Structure 1
Amino acid sequence: MSLTDLTRAVITAANAPGLKHVRQLGSPLDSVRWERLCFDPSGTRLLAKDAWSSRLRWWNLDTATDVASGSVELKMEPIEALFHGSNHIVTAGPPVAEAAVTWRPRLMAFSTTDGSLWREETLSAPATGLAMSRDGMLLAVLERGEALLWDVAAWKWIRDLQGVEWHVQVKACAFSQDSRFAAAIVNYYNHDQAALYLWNLKASSRPWVHPLGFQFAASVAFHPTLPLLVARGVHEVVVMDVNERRVLRRFNDYSHYVTNLDFSPDGELMVSSAGGRGFALYHFDTGELLLSHSNGDDLETGDAVFSPDGRFIAWAKGDGTVGLWSVGPAP
């Protein structure tokens, strides 16, 4: 079954209760914890990055096989791995033993064809957050309170972004759909409150910093069609107007312990990992919980994300496999 099979309906609030498990990628693995997931822009490839091990895997979803089409074993910190187009994967990795400065980490890009190293660049400090824009611009937030923009296609530095504090733990980063804004959600090591960093990339390089009113940050995402931004705590949701820099609404979900957030392409729905044991689907405008699913065991699960066409949700199951969910054939 191809992911791009157009006989399947787009997931909506009306048909969400009919969501079904339609495909399982990969084989069960040992010692998998909180896998991060990412679709390529075409929706034909899916990437899984184990947050605590050296394992990167990706699948070509236009093929019939559910075996990974490529993999890389590389010692990495718990950081994102992202697609640049369909042909390359970008992440942060450790220094090489032969490096002149052996402690410095690297920005790395791999080929999705054979997993070979395509390009690399030494960083001044470990990366704690990465995000990729639709036009291939990369945001990297570094451990020393630095942030930089990187042109992946040209493989060159664009400019530094000012304003990141030293003592923060970056939980997630994101770009707006038009690449005008970039955001990071952070926890302070010496504070009781999470905060949002928002950069206007077309104007000043200093961010708007906004305390979020909850203690533990989880995820951040821009609305795909409106100038809105959602910052999530493990139970809290804050919706902000990007242009006016103000909070529009808040709501809570104490039934689930959330670790990631993703929008459907039209922005009607939000999907999140839930309780470390499943995923949950919400209506964006109302915050209504439309569907929740659990794998029914004690294995810690990972990300839940929408496919670019909105017809599938991919969910990283706790046994190392990745499930694809849809609402079945369109009428």
Structure 2
Amino acid sequence: MTSSLAVLTPANATLLKPVRRLGPALDVHCSRHQLAFDPSGTVLVVKGWLGSPLRWWAQGAASDSPVCSVDLTLEFRVDVLSVGQLIVGAGPPVGAAATPWRPRLVALSTQDGTLQHEATMPHTVIGLGASKVGTLAVLFEGGEALLWDVRSWRPVRELAAMEADITLKDCAVSPDGRFVAVVGTSHERGGECLWLWDLRTQDKPWRLSLKWPIAWSVAFHPTQPLLVIGGNSDEVTVVDAHARRVVRTLTGVGGYACNLDFSPDGALLVASGDGSGFSVHRFDTGEELFGDGDGDDMQTSDAVISPDGRCIAWGHGDGTVSLWGVAD
């Protein structure tokens, strides 16, 4: 899917062009796309909004059609994650032996979409985040959280709870599996917040109040102990996870940063906006190097960089997904 493209850098990102369109188009308008590459870059997963199937494509496939398309009801506000050869999501029970009326974690095979694992959760799942080594953070209603090991499909331990009354927007796990970050609204405290757990301790999460009306997204830098937070502002806040403090602010990131993603070396930051496409920035300065969109202000999509750093995937309202890259 990406082997003929150059690795994206600050020097060539201005030359980005659409190089492929994955389909087919769907009969329903997709107002929201959640996208994820698996850590090896061999699978691109797309979860649409209500009424659209869960689909994924394989790197190197000659066809633009998905490897699998599965009609599976999942929590529509919770991202799906691709870990190893599994696609993990949250929703109601689907297995024949499932306990009725209990929220579940489910794992599907990337090969054929068959159900591989299913587990009952104590509360409704409102957020998922995963590290590259398969440590899964599961966030529940009521501020509770759990660490889950995807490979052994069992819980690792509970995390100290957040405030009980929150609306979660995004969750991320640091590449080394040490930190879990969550952004959302604390109705108890009346504002947007970042919560950060250090998994080397049993402590409650550190909380940082944010000045924006809405915080949408959080992502960890791939090589440094930094994380970025975006919202309905033209700013992105950079936080040092070790020092637990804001270290700088990137300006000029327009369109509401609904999703943030780093290139593998951390030199580029991709921000996708609410109905305004996506933009590519230098992480060191915040300078915008590239921006594009299809003018459909009724839909939004994650923009994610492939793990080999060679392309950016972004979704359209008709259900197709475009790949952007630079010819090698």
Cα distance change on mapping 1:286 and 1:192 into 2, 3 Å: farther
The residue number in structure 2 matching 1:94 is: 92
Q: Residue 10 of structure 1 is aligned with which of 7, 11, 22?
A: 7
Paired residue for 1:68, among 62, 66, 69? 66
CA offsets, 1:185-223, max 9 Å, x none? 111235552111111111224211111222211110111
**Counterparts of residues 125-274 of structure 1 (less than 5 Å):** 125-189=123-187, 192-235=190-233, 236-253=235-252, 255-274=254-273
Identity %: 48
2:300 match: secondary structure: coil
- Partner in structure 2 of residue 321 of structure 1: 320
Q: Distance in 1 between matches of 2:9 and 2:237?
A: 22
Alpha-carbon distance between aligned partners in 2 of 1:255 and 1:199, rounded to the nearest angstrom? 29
TM-score by length of 2: 0.94
User: Once the two structures are superposed, what CA deviation does each residue of 1:254-308 show, in whole Å capped at 9, x if it has no partner?
Assistant: 7412210000111111111124131111111111111110113444131100000
Structure 2: distance between partners of 1:143 and 1:163:
11
Secondary structure at 1:17's aligned position in 2?
A: helix
Give the TM-score of the pair, scaled to structure 1: 0.93
User: How far apart are 1:17 and its partner, in Å?
Assistant: 1.2
CA shift in 2, pair 1:254/1:17, >3 Å:
closer
- Contact (CA 8 Å) 1:212, 1:238: kept in 2 or not? no
Q: Give structure 1 stretches of 5+ with no counterpart.
A: none
Provide the residue aligned with 2:281 in structure 1. Answer: 282
Q: What is the aligned partner in structure 1 of residue 22 from structure 2?
A: 25
**1:145 and 1:65, CA in 2 relative to 1: closer, same or farther beyond 3 A?**
same
**Amino acid aligned to 2:214:** F
Give the number of aligned pairs: 325
RMSD: 1.8
Measured in 1, the distance between the counterparts of 2:315 and 2:187 equals 29
The answer to which of 232-241 and 128-137 deviates more is: 232-241
Among 35, 38, 63, the residue aligned to 1:37:
35
Cα 1:149–1:205, aligned 2, differ >3 Å: closer, same or farther?
farther
CA contact under 8 A between 1:51 and 1:77: conserved in structure 2? no
Q: Which amino acid in the other structure matches residue 29 of structure 2?
A: S
Counterpart Cα distance in 2 of 1:166 and 1:46 = 34
CA distance in 2, matches of 1:311, 1:101: 43
Paired position in structure 1 for 2:110: 112
Output the amino acid matched with 1:206: K
